[in-house]
Structure formats: structure tokens, C-alpha cells
């Protein structure tokens, strides 16, 4: 309980949750469980928008369609937007530092061996004219 009151890096604190419920209107929720709110006005006159993360506070956990809404690129929430295109992939959080992180063929985690150069590269040498 004390952790929920004082720590912000592992999710929203109780104060943030209460502020959101009292001062904002719940707009929607994404597939990851993040909840989006809108309420009040920012200094530029636009509506203030924010997200309460489900789990750790990591901005990479916001899907692209909600990112656009949060940053006022669109006023349409994802349920009001057209269906995603066939080439669009589902949003993933940043996987850096996890076992699912991308590791190219020359990465140390994959043995550190990369493909040999193709021979079309010639290194510059300062002794050549």
C-alpha cells in the first residue's frame, strides 16, 4: 500500500488516480490496459490529455493511434478512426534489455560473428598518394 502511495515509476500513485477521476473524463483504454483521460485546458487553450499506464511508466507502451490523440495530431480516438491497414503491425513496448530484444547477426549475444565483407570496400590509408 505504501508503495502505491509514494512510488510513481511502477505505475500511477493514488493521488494521480484520484486527480484523474476528479478532474478528467475517461476517454478510452487501449489493448495494453492504459487508460486515457481528457480534462481542463492547457496554456495554449487546447484540451489537456494524459494517460495512466497499466504497469510501468514507459512511453513506448502507448500505441501509435493513441499517441496521435495524446499529442493533438488528431481529435479522433482510435475507436472513431478507420480500421488499421493490413500492413500495420500491433504496437509493442520497447523490448530493449529483455530477452525479446532485437539482436543482429553480429551481436555478442548471438556469438559476435558477422558475415564477411563483400570486397567492395577499400580502406583509406594516409600513406597512399
- The confidence score (pLDDT) of residue 36 equals 93
- The confidence score (pLDDT) of residue 6 equals 53
Q: Which residues contact 14 (CB under 8 A, 6 or more apart)?
A: 4, 5
- The confidence score (pLDDT) of residue 15 equals 59
Return the closest-CA partner of residue 16 out of 63, 58, 60, 53. Answer: 53
For the entire predicted model, the pTM comes to 0.59
Question: What DSSP designation does 62 have?
Answer: S
Identify the segments of the chain with pLDDT beneath 50: none
- The confidence score (pLDDT) of residue 44 equals 86
- The confidence score (pLDDT) of residue 20 equals 64
Instruction: For 108, list phi and psi in degrees, rounded to 5.
Output: -60, -35
Amino acid at each position: 500500500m505504501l508503495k502505491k502511495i509514494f512510488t510513481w515509476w511502477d505505475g500511477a500513485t493514488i493521488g494521480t488516480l484520484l486527480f484523474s477521476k476528479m478532474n478528467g473524463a475517461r476517454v478510452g483504454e487501449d489493448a495494453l490496459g492504459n487508460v486515457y483521460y481528457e480534462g481542463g485546458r492547457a496554456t495554449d487553450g487546447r484540451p489537456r490529455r494524459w494517460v495512466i499506464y497499466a504497469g510501468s511508466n514507459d512511453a513506448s507502451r502507448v500505441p501509435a493511434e493513441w499517441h496521435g490523440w495524446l499529442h493533438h495530431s488528431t481529435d479522433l480516438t482510435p475507436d472513431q478512426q478507420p480500421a488499421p491497414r493490413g500492413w500495420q503491425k500491433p504496437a509493442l513496448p520497447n523490448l530493449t534489455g529483455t530477452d525479446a530484444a532485437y539482436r543482429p547477426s553480429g551481436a555478442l549475444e548471438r556469438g559476435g560473428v558477422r558475415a564477411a565483407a563483400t570486397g567492395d570496400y577499400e580502406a583509406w590509408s594516409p600513406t597512399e598518394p
